[in-house]
Amino acid sequence: MSANLRDLYQQVIMDHNKKPRNFREMDNANHLAHGNNPLCGDALVVFVKLDDDVIEDLSFQGSGCAISVASASLMTEALKGKTLEQAEHIYQQMHKQLTGEEFEQTALGKLAVLGGVKEFPARVKCATLSWHTMHAAMDSDHDISVTTE
């Protein structure tokens, strides 16, 4: 198997794909957004419970490829308990990592496992879908839809 493929489908990613964390509907969410990638049919919902500017709870539901499910799962773990400002910073660094720009390694921690995706330009959208959807949810106080392709 190629080194690129091993980088893309790391153990952590396979694990989060098989057993996605925070994969549930949230009854008391005060922000939520729908994300769709019409090209590959990936569709997910991101639920957020904000307490002032702290992300008290974050979850998602939906279906997609291993990269999109693992990215969403890792995102919920990384951002839970963070302030909006901290979350925004991680979001920006994550975006830079996936598009091959310079980024702050320390800000990403475990999310670094998604770095292999940048070698697969056709798959970057899979990894960013949940992040864009989360971002849209934070920015809006009503149900909103995000589309990437």
Partner 1 sequence: MLDIQTIRKDFPILDQQVNGYPLVYLDNAATSQKPVQVIDAVANYYRQDNANVHRGVHLLSQRATDAYEGARSKVRGFLNANSDKEIVFVRGATEAINLIAQSFVRPNIKAGDEIVISHMEHHANIVPWQMLCEQTGAILKIIPMTTVGELDLSTIDELLNERTKILAVGHVSNALGTINPIKELIRKAHAKGIPVLIDGAQAVPHMVVDVQQLDCDFYVLSGHKMFAPTGIGALYGKQELLAAMPPWQGGGDMILSVSFEHTQYNELPYKFEAGTPNIAGAIGMGVAIDYMQNLGIANLAQHEHDLLVAATEKVTALEGVRIIGTAKQKASVLSFMIEGVHPHDVGTIFDQQGVAIRTGHHCAQPVMQFFGIAATARASFAFYNTMEEVDALIDSIKKVQELFA
Instruction: Tell me how many residues contact partner 1 (CB under 8 A).
Output: 21
Single out the residue of 43, 53, 50, 56 nearest to residue 130, CA to CA: 43
The 3-state DSSP class for residue 35 equals: strand
Q: By rule CB under 8 A, what string of x and - marks binding of each residue 95-114 to partner 1?
A: --------------------
Q: By rule CB under 8 A, what string of x and - marks binding of each residue 11-30 to partner 1?
A: ---x----------------
User: CB neighbours (10 Å) of residue 20?
Assistant: 19
The H or E element containing residue 140 is none
Dmax over CA atoms of the chain, in Å, equals 47
120 binds partner 1 (CB under 8 A): yes
Contacting residues toward partner 1, per CB under 8 A: 1-2, 4-5, 8-9, 14, 39-43, 63-67, 120, 122-123, 126
